[in-house]
Amino acid sequence: MGVTNSNKELNVSGINCGGSFKVRLSLTAAPDITTNPTDIVLILDRSGSMQGAPLTNLKNGAKAFIDIIDEATDGSEDGQIGSGSRIGIVSFADVATQDTQLITSVSDLKAAVDALTSDGSTNHEDAFTKALDLFDPASTNAKVMIMFTDGVTTAGGDPNTVATLAKLQGVIIYCIGLSGNGGIDVNALNAWSSDPDSAYVAITPDDTELEELFENLARNIANPGATNVVITDTVAPCFQITSISSPTKGSASTSGTNTVTWTIDALGVTASEGATFEFTVTHIGPCTGTVEVNESISYDDAEGNIVTFPSPAIEVDCGVDICPEGCPVTVDLTVDGCTDTVEFDAGELVMDSLGRIVQLDVTLHNVCPNRRVALAVMLNELDALDTEHKRGFKTMTIPAHTREGCRDVTVRCIKFVLPEDLDVSGETFAICNERRFRARLIANYVDYDFDCCCDTDTDA
């Protein structure tokens, strides 16, 4: 079957600045379907939430899957699943139906898919039960279920009981989830699927990707497992790889601080087999907000399996940045081509003496949401005797943030102009002396929710 699933996932959805997280790569492969006949049951969700484009794209994906298996089993799309393999269709809503038995007729399989209509709730337990009933316990064929669903269980009993029973009987279970149609229970899909979870579960938020998911799964079924596997993963520049774990199969090594390579000699050559590999990534900046972890990831093997990995994103929280003072006013000018000199009137700007600009940043810790902060900054210069000489005083209002919970707020670019004629360093040079300064800052909330419990009339 070749590579039947691939995944890349993160252990957390968000980190703070400089934080770390784990990345897990997963890969599953199985033997060639032409020499290892396989019975495959497509379990298709036709509940009410699938109406419209999702059901259309699901049908297209299922029919593309059938065509690819048709060609893979006997070398041509001749309308018959060959080499002893068979496909069956089970669909489900309030209850599940066996829309076909395990058959080889492509036209009958596609007719069953085209006949699906969406309505009702979601009964995963009955879906697994009807699918399991299709398999012949006496058959030596490999047994595979491919469960597609776009929602949580809303009818029937516990699906995990039947899924566990199927796995104990040697059935391989893949789960494809559409998360953009009202939500799915990812933990449930992980529990139903074969182990390792991440290697047998694929999640997409967009129904337009369903056809591609089904096609990639079917194409790889024709390959005899995977050998000489090389996966090279490079993380984005604002991250670096800080440690790697030993893969469950194969070996891994790093190249520089951003790239890791995972190699496997053979996977899934004699039986369906999954492998995982984890490594730790640390944020080094400067990116913040929602950031894609991948810069690139590539796959290669001797069989030419077509393998793609998702590109997960993580929320990087570096607090709240506020810049209360803008940059100095700019002026624009243009120099024509081949012009050696240009005269330009930049306005009335008089430079009375040389000086310096000190720019301060300050981080206010644990500022609660929806509260403004009043900030005062005082700057003094120190002479040779550590006597302080006043050089500037600023007050400003820091706008309230609306993030969930209290956050650090960084106030940047608080600027003070320091002419050289105020230099009290004691040095004899006219300019560029070392000058020492001392800053003091005061901050308090402007907004608060305290009300005096015995308020009296103070207008009199």
pLDDT single digits (tens) 282-299? 999 888 889 999 999 999
pTM over 0.75: no
What angle (nearest 5°) sits at the alpha carbon of residue 137, between those of residues 133 and 140?
Answer: 130
User: Crossing angle for the helix pair 124-134 and 159-168, nearest 10 degrees?
Assistant: 20
Phi–psi pair at 169, nearest 5 degrees: -90, 10
Structure tokens at 171: 């059935």
Q: What is the DSSP string of 154-216?
A: -SSS-HHHHHHHHHHTTEEEEEEEETTTT---HHHHHHHSPSSHHHHEEEES-GGGHHHHHHH
Q: Please, is 46 exposed, middle or buried when counting C-beta atoms within 10 Å of its C-beta (0-12, 13-18, 19+)?
A: buried
Amino acid at residue number 193: S
Q: How far apart are CA 452 and CA 2, in angstroms?
A: 73
Q: What is the DSSP string of 73-119?
A: HHSS-SSB--TT-EEEEEEESSSEEE-S-SB-BHHHHHHHHHT----
Whether the CB-CB separation of 35 and 298 falls below 8 Å is answered with no
Q: 321-327+353-445: which CATH topology?
A: Immunoglobulin-like (2.60.40)
31 cis-preceded (ω within 30 degrees of 0): no
Lowest mean pLDDT among 73-77, 232-236, 439-443: 73-77
What is the number of other CB atoms lying within 10 angstroms of the CB of residue 2? 27
Give yes or no on whether 2-317 and 321-327+353-445 have one common fold. Answer: no
Q: 2-317 belongs to which CATH class?
A: alpha beta
Highest mean pLDDT among 3-12, 97-106, 314-323: 97-106
pLDDT at residue 3, rounded to an integer: 83
Whether the CB-CB separation of 1 and 31 falls below 8 Å is answered with yes
pLDDT at residue 249, rounded to an integer: 94
pLDDT at residue 208, rounded to an integer: 82
pLDDT beyond 70 at 262 = yes
| Residues 380, 382, 386, 388, Cα dihedral to 10° | -30
pLDDT at residue 201, rounded to an integer: 84
Amino acid at residue number 71: E
Amino acid at residue number 126: D
pLDDT at residue 460, rounded to an integer: 43
Q: Domain segments of the chain: what residues?
A: 2-317, 321-327+353-445
DSSP class of residue 385 equals: T
Q: How far apart are CA 446 and CA 400, in angstroms?
A: 10
Work out the percent of the chain whose per-residue pLDDT is above 90: 50
Q: Look at residue 65 and give its three-state secondary structure.
A: helix
Structure tokens at 303: 């069989």
Measured CA to CA in angstroms, residue 197 lies from 7, 86, 350, 381, 403 at distances of 10, 25, 70, 63, 34
pLDDT single digits (tens) 320-379? 766 777 766 677 777 777 767 777 776 765 555 577 889 999 999 889 988 999 999 999
Q: Look at residue 132 and give its three-state secondary structure.
A: helix
Highest mean pLDDT among 38-52, 218-232, 311-325, 424-438: 38-52
DSSP class of residue 347 equals: -
Structure tokens at 9: 């996932």
pLDDT single digits (tens) 145-166? 999 998 888 999 999 999 999 9
Strand pairing class (38-45; 142-149): parallel
Structure tokens at 309: 């990995």
Structure tokens at 427: 């040095």
Average pLDDT of the chain, as a whole number = 87
Structure tokens at 45: 């969700």
Q: Average pLDDT in the 29-41 region?
A: 82
pLDDT at residue 130, rounded to an integer: 97
What angle (nearest 5°) sits at the alpha carbon of residue 344, between those of residues 342 and 348?
Answer: 155
Q: Average pLDDT in the 377-389 region?
A: 91
- For the chain, the first-to-last Cα distance in angstroms comes to 89
pLDDT at residue 199, rounded to an integer: 67
